[in-house]
Amino acid sequence: MAIEGAQTTPAGRIRIGMVGGGEGAFIGAVHRIAMRLDDQYELVAGALSSTPEKAMRSGAALGLDPARTYDSFEDMAKREARRKDGIEAVAIVTPNHMHVAPALAFLKAGIHVICDKPLSISFKEGLKLKAAVAKSGKIFALTHNYTGYPLVRQAREMVAAGELGEIRLVQVEYPQDWLSQDIENTGQKQAEWRTDPARSGAGGAIGDIGTHAYNLADFITQIPVVQLSAELTSFVPGRRLDDNCQIMLRYANGARGMLWVSQVAPGHENGLKIRVYGTKGSIEWVQANPNYLIWSQLGQPQMILTRGGPQTGAAAARVTRVPGGHPEGYLEGFANIYTEVAHAIRAARTGAAPDPAVLFPSLDDGLKGMAFIEAAVASSRKNARWVAL
Amino acid sequence: MAIEGAQTTPAGRIRIGMVGGGEGAFIGAVHRIAMRLDDQYELVAGALSSTPEKAMRSGAALGLDPARTYDSFEDMAKREARRKDGIEAVAIVTPNHMHVAPALAFLKAGIHVICDKPLSISFKEGLKLKAAVAKSGKIFALTHNYTGYPLVRQAREMVAAGELGEIRLVQVEYPQDWLSQDIENTGQKQAEWRTDPARSGAGGAIGDIGTHAYNLADFITQIPVVQLSAELTSFVPGRRLDDNCQIMLRYANGARGMLWVSQVAPGHENGLKIRVYGTKGSIEWVQANPNYLIWSQLGQPQMILTRGGPQTGAAAARVTRVPGGHPEGYLEGFANIYTEVAHAIRAARTGAAPDPAVLFPSLDDGLKGMAFIEAAVASSRKNARWVAL
Amino acid sequence: MAIEGAQTTPAGRIRIGMVGGGEGAFIGAVHRIAMRLDDQYELVAGALSSTPEKAMRSGAALGLDPARTYDSFEDMAKREARRKDGIEAVAIVTPNHMHVAPALAFLKAGIHVICDKPLSISFKEGLKLKAAVAKSGKIFALTHNYTGYPLVRQAREMVAAGELGEIRLVQVEYPQDWLSQDIENTGQKQAEWRTDPARSGAGGAIGDIGTHAYNLADFITQIPVVQLSAELTSFVPGRRLDDNCQIMLRYANGARGMLWVSQVAPGHENGLKIRVYGTKGSIEWVQANPNYLIWSQLGQPQMILTRGGPQTGAAAARVTRVPGGHPEGYLEGFANIYTEVAHAIRAARTGAAPDPAVLFPSLDDGLKGMAFIEAAVASSRKNARWVAL
Amino acid sequence: MAIEGAQTTPAGRIRIGMVGGGEGAFIGAVHRIAMRLDDQYELVAGALSSTPEKAMRSGAALGLDPARTYDSFEDMAKREARRKDGIEAVAIVTPNHMHVAPALAFLKAGIHVICDKPLSISFKEGLKLKAAVAKSGKIFALTHNYTGYPLVRQAREMVAAGELGEIRLVQVEYPQDWLSQDIENTGQKQAEWRTDPARSGAGGAIGDIGTHAYNLADFITQIPVVQLSAELTSFVPGRRLDDNCQIMLRYANGARGMLWVSQVAPGHENGLKIRVYGTKGSIEWVQANPNYLIWSQLGQPQMILTRGGPQTGAAAARVTRVPGGHPEGYLEGFANIYTEVAHAIRAARTGAAPDPAVLFPSLDDGLKGMAFIEAAVASSRKNARWVAL
């Protein structure tokens, strides 16, 4: 296990700032725990809110130096870039429509970017980052955190090694129930922006969680989806974005897939689950109980692989902190993304070649996600006609 | 519980015959156990095989009177109809293409018919039975056995009572793995006829198990599917019928559904599972562990209903034999269909009005299944275009 | 699988009678289903109740010939013995205190006996049967039905084959909750006799379900318990027999065990569960979901063996009717005992040597159970001192 | 949820040091993550190893100031006490025999102590701390980390609120398999000291994990055990301490309990599990899947409470970071202990009355654990005679 070594013994923490994530934000706090868990980062600056007083109050609560608590990300990018002890990286945790502008600003300022998902509110908008990232030479990471789970990496490694044979089927689902009623009209902030096209883009559930489901399948199988047929529905009266999406997938190798995401499925808190079937076997992983991976080999009894347990490989081991039976969870998975980025940043410091074992979602993954959202919306508008991806 | 009463104390067993189900057949033996379990039937005649020696050998092994062991169903129908102690009902357990002809013969002879599913090899062929059943005044039952499980009936009762609110979503799947390889070319009889269009009709997995999945959703929700979009695939090289089907469903009330069946999904023995979601709650039931029904009410912890346990209703109770914690299974569910039909036959004997609590799949269910198969095949051939049902 | 063959195709059913099991009895109906399931027996006579009218009414409801519906077991034994078509076997399903007398009567009459458990109300009383069985040359079977489950037999076979290495630990438990309150004072018949020392003997839960737990461990491990330390408690005020038992076991080979049975454990319907640990691996089996056996090999991921699935052996296969994924349950397990006895009776008819693969609990198992009850009661009375078995 | 507020926004981190936990140590790294997770502590000093070079190397790896990397805890206690910016608290993560001496030293130096469990190698040795703690006025916390899990606190709250009625039964177990073979003779350091009486005291498994199991039951029920009967066994040839313990418990209120811990139970990684039964209901919690609590109310279906989900109360909510469905695990539970202690330290800084909602294991819990170990060892040596606690 990797509990000793890079993850716990930083030779100089990476100075990081945050855009968004002030008072009342959920995901900002998660990002802060994730950056702290392996002691790889030190949060030293923030533009935590676009409301100045709230920004100051939030910075103070986090123990930030008032001089480095900014009113705007533009200001932060400029001034941090000038400091000798300025931030090396920034975490962008604003709603979707506020990802690209700060990302461009920090990249321009020569600062690595870690950005929440989905990438942007449109593929076109996201594409602006392509040239900017290339030009900057900086790291751009997207927090598709579910790829940080050790057994998700195990699954990817097994597929790549051919343990499942040729892949035939993908079944991925991500049901939730928290939007089963119109809570966006009751003042619930999280629900408000997620159901608002202006802040979320053309996709509701498809953008918020559909991208996670799609990314997870992509990460594990590494096989491109070439066509999809999508039926997006808004079940809750008055809701302007989809709250349920059912999608059929055609893969480049002839495999077929089904993807279901919902935010109106009572009984599901956060039900991300994936199953991948090949000619020789299958795997099944459930996010809510992430320390187990069911491996079925054709003609053999099912086996339960455990995080840290027998027959798990190097990919899982390097993002595992504690032995099997001591459950790791959502925050550890999220932290793995941050720690992987930290490895890349350290390599970038010295100009060393990046370690091929280091894995985190990139701008390309973000663009794939945007293309997926737009294809799904387009398909759904055309009565679920097949749309190329 | 219903352990005492009609199920265990027959006042005169119903005399029954069987067509098909001789040596080497799987489902014939299942039907025989199902008819025997509640002591409602006595098997007294059979046309167990179309090969005369095999028919005699099979009859002898079952202890049938040689005089009532027939070479052909035509012969059996005619001669049993003439006997004073002739059969009152017949079970037809031949491959799909051999259902309609014997059914017509026995109906014509005034004998009730219990027929294995799917109904026929085409909707058109199945339709021939419509007039025949009406004319005969006899009972026609189709053994969609999964509707016999107590907690499936509980689920239906809950949906009907509005416990889930307005239904929004149906997720039903039925994966298996036994056809992951081309075992039809190795002499496996069960695989041979199920992958042969001449004996199975236009559908492979869609007919064999897709009809079960569709019927189960229909039984529980009682909401018609109005359109479907289907992608049927034959993954195993050389296979002539589909071995994987992914289908999107549109329901009459605006609900949406996804249906997946597969016979090439390693790790699944017989993975029938259904989830139904409404505005107020959801239910989940898994055939392989059928004594539990997960009930989620929006905003409440999930509850695990058990067969025979608290908060289960009358519909489940009347097909329950033993108390909660004493698992019932596949054969008991199958027997419930037979016992329900027995109730109907006894009522028919006296001309009594049928008990509205008695439930078993009918010819109409069989026709719906055929329409479903044909719509799915048609949709798939048109690149998964929506097809009306 | 054994679905075809002896289990379904009887060459002449065995004529059987029943003592007890009239109106309102639970276990009588279970025995009748069990004898019927594989078509090995025909119930033709009964002394179903000691109340003459009730006996006649119960016999009529079961379709018995009134001439073979008896008021007393003595009468039945004598008269059936004289008939040419008299019963070959009898099932005794009365409360515990009424097992030995009828068993003696039928053995004396040359009739095989299948007796419900526990054997008797005392070891001493049970011992009377020892000579009687030997003298009669007849079969005496005890319905410790849980040994009929296919995967219980699989577990036994694995232990015997050394798959687990040397056995070190046994953990067996059988919690229920139905006696959490004093329902014996509310007219509940099942509760009444089970909490009455006159009808149940010195043990309450220890006799009713403790014997099952002990027998299950004994069946699987085949290692004798040499000493036990027991703490029996009556939690419900006014209850005269134990409703909770915790016992520590010492095995002949140095293994250690813990056994817990309870009838006052809310949340458990019928929670029989066993785990056996050896130097090389362990198995776990849970009665409420009996089609799975978890096999852990030291240093390997856990495997889930399924009834009818890969890597299960001959012992399970011969008592399996339907393929994996089609769950069998309590009644099938119970029927396996009856069918095993039928094999033995058929062998006895011809004087053939008994098939060593045929397995059912015997008088010796019944005596072991009585010794276990008495040792537990004795230990508990002496402040849980170790008592030899 | 408590994700915002004290846990994530420290007004000045608490300066902390560490004794033990250098290179190769497992639990030291866990403690460091736990102190970091909620940003309540800053590790600034250490006596990480008794080998000077290893101590320096370990300190450097953790980014400690070399001037605050000590060779001995005595030195550290003295010199840190003199610094203006000296540590306020120390974490002691050495093997059991090295807990008391440093604890005394730091208490004497006026520094709060957070100590790994078990407290000491004997009750008598642990008792030395009693007066020292009282005299110092400092906080002494013991890291019985499993009490930090939100749903363990939920269980305690439910028991205290009478939701289960009067408690009758406790079933607690903690099986592992990592010592199934004599790995202590193969150079495995963790196994070496845990099986060495000189470093672990008189108990092996009973001290290492038995104390966790006992403490967990004590934490949830808050009912004292008054007597126990224990059978301790060393199964692995040559092992000097117990590797399996089976214990019967008698509680002050008449409840009964069974406790099983093992390190030779193949298939169990870290199988801590507890069930508590009362007159009205029961709870079940399994550490390996800690985000669920099964609640059974007599006569009702079982309910699955989830961390962060409906019907969980204040006790769980205050140690919960992320919503239901986003699993928290071992490290979060461990961090909860550290964060609770941080609340207490902050209160102590100002002399404020401690918040009664703040909960962490204390010296008294440590002493109870030592008494439990000694009672179990004593009972076992006397053939499992009952011993008072």
Residues paired with A225 in a beta bridge: A251
Contact B302 D299 (CB under 8 A): no
Give the neighbor-by-neighbor strand order of the sheet with A14-19: A41-47, A14-19, A89-92, A112-115, A140-142
The minimum CA-CA distance between B54 and chain C, rounded to whole Å, is 14
Both tokens assigned to C105: 């009567």
Average pLDDT, stretch D147-171?
98
Find all residues with CB under 8 Å of C222, minimum gap 6, and list them. Answer: C156, C159, C160
Mean pLDDT value across residues D212-223: 98
Among candidates C32, C38, C289 on the partner chain, residue whose Cβ is nearest the Cβ of B327: C289
- Asked if the Cβ–Cβ distance from A244 to B256 is below 8 Å, we say yes
For residue B5, pLDDT beyond 70: no
Q: Give the number of beta-carbon pairs within 8 Å between A and B.
A: 103
D chain contacts of residue A64, beta-carbon cutoff 8 Å: none
Total CB pairs under 8 A between chain C and D: 103
Residue numbers in chain A where pLDDT is lower than 70: 1-11
pLDDT attached to residue C2: 38
* D→C interface, C-beta within 8 Å: 168-169, 171, 173, 177, 180-181, 229, 231, 233, 235, 244, 246, 248, 250, 256, 258, 260, 262, 264-268, 277-282, 284, 294, 296-298, 302, 383-384, 386
Contact C310 A301 (CB under 8 A): yes
Nearest to C266 among D235, D258, D282 (CB): D282
- Split at pLDDT 50, 70, 90, the class of C11 is low
pLDDT exceeds cutoff 90 at C204? yes
Q: Is the pTM of this model over 0.90?
A: yes
**Mean pLDDT over residues D114-138, rounded?**
96
The verdict on a CB contact (< 8 Å) between C246 and D235 is no
Confidence tier at D80 by pLDDT (50, 70, 90): very high
- CB-CB: which of A300, A302, A310 is closest to C300? A310
State pLDDT tens for residues B304-317. 999 999 999 999 99
Note the residue count of chain A: 389
Distance separating alpha carbons of residues B5 and B38, to the nearest angstrom = 10
The sign of the torsion formed by the CA atoms of B299, B302, B308, B310 equals negative
Whether residues C39 and B32 touch (CB distance < 8 A) is answered with yes
d(CA B97, CA B119): 9
Position D275 pLDDT exceeds 80: yes
Among C54, C292, C330, C338, which would you mutate to test the B interface (most chain B Cβ atoms within 10 Å of its Cβ)? C330
Above 70 in pLDDT, residue D386?
Answer: yes
| Chain A interface mutation, best of C302, C303, C304, highest count of A Cβ atoms under 10 Å | C302
pLDDT (mean) for C281-292: 98
Closest CA–CA distance from residue C164 to any residue of chain B (Å): 25
In sequence order, what are the residues at sequence separation of 6 or more whose Cβ sits closer than 8 angstroms to the Cβ of residue B264?
Answer: A168, A169, A277, B177, B179, B180, B235, B236, B243, B244
DSSP string, D127-175: HHHHHHHHHHT--EEE--GGGGSHHHHHHHHHHHTTTT-SEEEEEEEEE
Chain C positions with Cβ closer than 8 Å to A: 295, 299-306, 309-311
Among C43, A198, A348, A269, smallest CA distance to D324 is for: A269
Nearest to A303 among C299, C301, C306 (CB): C301
What integer is the mean pLDDT of C205-234?
98
CA distance D318 to chain A (A): 15
Chain B nearest-CA distance from D31, in A, is 33
Q: In this complex, how many residue pairs, one in chain A and one in chain C, have their CB atoms less than 8 Å apart?
A: 30
Residues of B with CB under 8 A from a CB of A: 164, 168-169, 171, 173, 177, 180-181, 229, 231, 233, 235, 244, 246, 248, 250, 256, 258, 260, 262, 264-268, 277-282, 284, 294, 296-298, 302, 383-384, 386
Q: Which residues of A touch C301 (CB under 8 A)?
A: 295, 303-306, 309-311
pLDDT in tens, D293-342: 999 999 999 999 999 999 999 999 999 999 999 999 999 999 999 999 99
Angstrom distance (rounded) from CA C267 to CA D279? 11
Beta carbons of C311 and A305 less than 8 Å apart: no
Q: To the nearest whole angstrom, how far is the Cα of C170 from the nearest Cα of chain D?
A: 10
Q: What is the pLDDT of residue C354?
A: 85
CB contact under 8 A, D324 and A270: yes
In what side-by-side order are the strands of the sheet with D112-115? D41-47, D14-19, D89-92, D112-115, D140-142
The span from the CA of A329 to the CA of D331, in Å, is 9
What mean pLDDT is reported for chain C?
95
pLDDT tens-digit map of C37-61: 999 999 999 999 989 999 999 999 9
pLDDT, residue C189, reads: 87
* R_g over Cα of chain D: 21
The encoded tokens of residue D379 equal 């009972």
In Å, how far is A213's CA from the nearest CA of chain C? 27
Interface partners of chain B (CB pairs < 8 Å, 3 or more) are A, C, D
Q: H helices within chain B, ranges in order?
A: 27-37, 52-61, 73-82, 100-108, 123-136, 150-160, 189-194, 197-200, 205, 211-221, 314-317, 330-350, 363-381
Nearest-by-CA chain A residue for B237? A279
Angstrom distance (rounded) from CA C28 to CA C24: 9
Report the C-alpha gap between A174 and A207 in whole angstroms: 12
- Return the bridge partners of A283, or none: A276, A295
Rounded Cα–Cα distance for residues A204 and A380 (Å): 13
Residues 6+ apart with CB under 8 A from D257: D169, D170, D171, D172, D217, D225, D248, D249, D250, D251
Radius of gyration of chain B (CA): 21
Question: Tell me: the pLDDT tens digits for B58-107?
Answer: 999 999 999 999 999 999 999 999 999 999 999 999 999 999 999 999 99
pLDDT per residue over B210-248, tens digit each? 999 999 999 999 999 999 999 999 999 999 999 999 999
Whether D289 sits inside 8 A of A287 (CB atoms) is: no
Please answer yes or no on whether C246 and D266 come within 8 Å at the CB atom. Answer: no
Tell me the pLDDT band of B26, cut-offs 50, 70 and 90.
confident
Other residues' Cβ atoms within 10 Å of the Cβ of residue D182: 15
The pLDDT value recorded for residue A5 is: 35
DSSP conformation letters of C302-329: EEEEETTSTT--HHHHTT--S-TTS---
Q: Check whether C217 has a pLDDT greater than 50.
A: yes
Using a CB-CB cut-off of 8 Å, the residues of chain D touching A332 are 329, 331
Q: Which of B35, B67, B24, B116 is nearest to B339 (CA)?
A: B35
Chain A contact set for D287 (CB, 8 A): 325, 327
* Per-residue model confidence (pLDDT) at position B3: 42
Tell me which of D24 and C251 has the higher pLDDT. C251
Chain A neighbours (≥3 Cβ pairs under 8 A) are B, C, D
Contact B303 D303 (CB under 8 A): yes
- Residue in C with minimal Cα distance to A309: C301
D325: left (phi over 0), alpha (psi -120 to 50) or beta: left
The answer to whether A248 contacts B267, with C-beta atoms less than 8 Å apart, is no
Instruction: Looking at the complex, report in whole angstroms how far the Cα of residue B31 sits from the nearest Cα belonging to chain A.
Output: 28
A342-350 long-range Cβ contacts below 8 angstroms, 24+ apart: A342/A6, A342/A10, A342/A14, A342/A38, A342/A40, A342/A41, A343/A6, A344/A139, A344/A141, A345/A14, A345/A88, A345/A89, A345/A112, A345/A139, A346/A14, A348/A112, A348/A138, A348/A139
Q: Which residues pair with C285 in a beta bridge?
A: C274
Please name the member of C308, C326, C329 whose beta carbon is closest to the beta carbon of B328: C329
pLDDT at A354: 85
Q: How confident is the model at residue C4 (pLDDT cuts 50, 70, 90)?
A: very low
Per-residue confidence (pLDDT) for residue C7, from 0 to 100 = 38
Phi-psi group of B304: left, alpha or beta (phi > 0 → left; psi -120 to 50 → alpha; rest → beta): beta
> Which chains have 3+ CB pairs within 8 A of D?
A, B, C
Residue D57 C-alpha, separation from nearest chain C C-alpha, in angstroms? 34
Q: Which of D301, D305, D311 minimises the CB distance to B311?
A: D301
Residue C305 with chain D: CB contacts under 8 Å: none
Shortest Cα distance, chain C CAs vs residue A154, angstroms = 14
Q: What is the mean pLDDT of residues D184-189?
A: 92
Write down the mean pLDDT value for chain D. Answer: 95
Q: What is the mean pLDDT of residues B21-37?
A: 92
DSSP conformational letter for D42: E
Question: Per the CB < 8 Å rule, is A301 touching C299?
Answer: no
The Cα of C30 is separated from the nearest Cα of chain A by a number of Å equal to 32
Residue C383: how many CB atoms within 10 A of its CB?
12
Per DSSP, which regions of C61-217 are E strands?
89-92, 112-115, 140-142, 167-175
Under the phi-then-psi rule, with left for phi > 0, alpha for psi from -120 to 50, and beta for the rest, what region is C302? beta
Q: Are B272 and B205 in contact (CB under 8 A)?
A: no
| Contact flag C304-A301 (C-beta cutoff 8 Å) | yes
DSSP state of A67: G
List the beta strands (DSSP E) in chain C.
14-19, 41-47, 89-92, 112-115, 140-142, 167-175, 225-233, 244-251, 256-262, 273-278, 281-286, 292-297, 302-306, 387-388
The token pair at B40 is: 């409602």
d(CA D296, CA B245): 40
Distance CA C212, CA C146 (A): 7
pLDDT confidence tier of residue D5, bands split at 50, 70 and 90: very low
Give me the mean pLDDT over the C290-294 stretch. 98
What interhelical angle do B330-350 and C330-350 show, nearest 10?
90
